[in-house]
Amino acid sequence: MTTVPPTSAVASTPTTSSATTATPTSSLVNPDFTMFLKMLTTQMQNQDPLNPMQSSDFAVQLATFSGVEQQTKTNGLLTGISGQVGTMGMTQLAGWVGMEARVAAPTAFTGSPITLAPAPEAGADATTLIVTNSSGTEVARTTIPVSSATYQWTGLDNNGVQLPNGNYTFQLENSAKGTVLGTDPVESYSKIVEAQSDTNGPVLVLDSGAQVASTAVKALRAAN
């Protein structure tokens, strides 16, 4: 039986330390075939000569490494594609700036009527429009027709006094035979002043300062 001289074991010690020190963390995050060969060489140099690894073990390691390398490349490709899609979305949304979007979000009131799009619940026989200001305080409560037709809110409070300019939020209280069925947000038309890119996709900035996802927009129209 052939044995390894003690000097060989001693000589291999610096090699292990050097290989370990020279292996940067980024190589494990972005592996390549050269890195695999270095790790394989180090492993072979330090294996037990009385119980060496089988060739099948090396084949399994190579297959595993190849899978990791391929997954890393795939992730990089998907990241690039995602960035391109985001850019395309921003290009398309650029044409929305200056238009009015119908969305459930705080709406800026500047003295002109705001177009609302109420959506009464099924079975409701009475609907009440509830208006709150930017502080969340209710400033108006008005009975409106049970209809999905657009409604013009003129900015009056319960006493018919004009409310100050500012941001307002709208809700619709649905009732049937005097019993409240529920209260739902009311969509309104707001002017789009900017389109931004976000990690979750394109975001639209309204003239009220509210930010909404482009997918939340239910309709578009030219600004009045």
Q: Residues 163-193: pLDDT tens digits?
A: 999 999 999 999 999 999 999 999 999 999 9
The DSSP symbol for 158 reads T
pLDDT mean across residues, the chain: 79
What are the pLDDT digits (tens) for 72-103?
666 665 555 444 444 446 677 788 899 999 99
Question: Token pair for residue 213?
Answer: 């996802």
Contact indicator for 115, 152 with CB cutoff of 8 Å = yes
Say which residues have a Cβ less than 8 Å from residue 219's Cβ, sequence separation at least 6: 101, 102, 117
d(CA 146, CA 151): 11
- Cβ distance 4 to 30 under 8 Å? no
Q: How confident is the model at residue 31 (pLDDT cuts 50, 70, 90)?
A: low
Give the model's pLDDT for residue 32. 57
Task: Assess whether pLDDT exceeds 60 at residue 16.
Answer: no
Q: Determine whether 101 is exposed, middle or buried from the number of CB atoms within 10 Å of its CB (0-12, 13-18, 19+).
A: buried
pLDDT value of position 87: 47
pTM for the model stands at 0.61
Q: Is the pLDDT of residue 145 over 50?
A: yes
Q: What is the mean pLDDT of residues 13-41?
A: 53
Instruction: Indicate whether 15 pLDDT > 90.
Output: no
Cα 146 to Cα 58, 140, 158: the distances in Å are: 74, 18, 19
Task: Give the CA count within 13 Å in the CB-facing half-sphere of 222.
Answer: 1
Max Cα distance, the chain (Å) = 106
Q: For residue 157, give the 3-state DSSP assignment.
A: coil
Q: Say if residues 49 and 67 touch (Cβ distance below 8 Å).
A: no
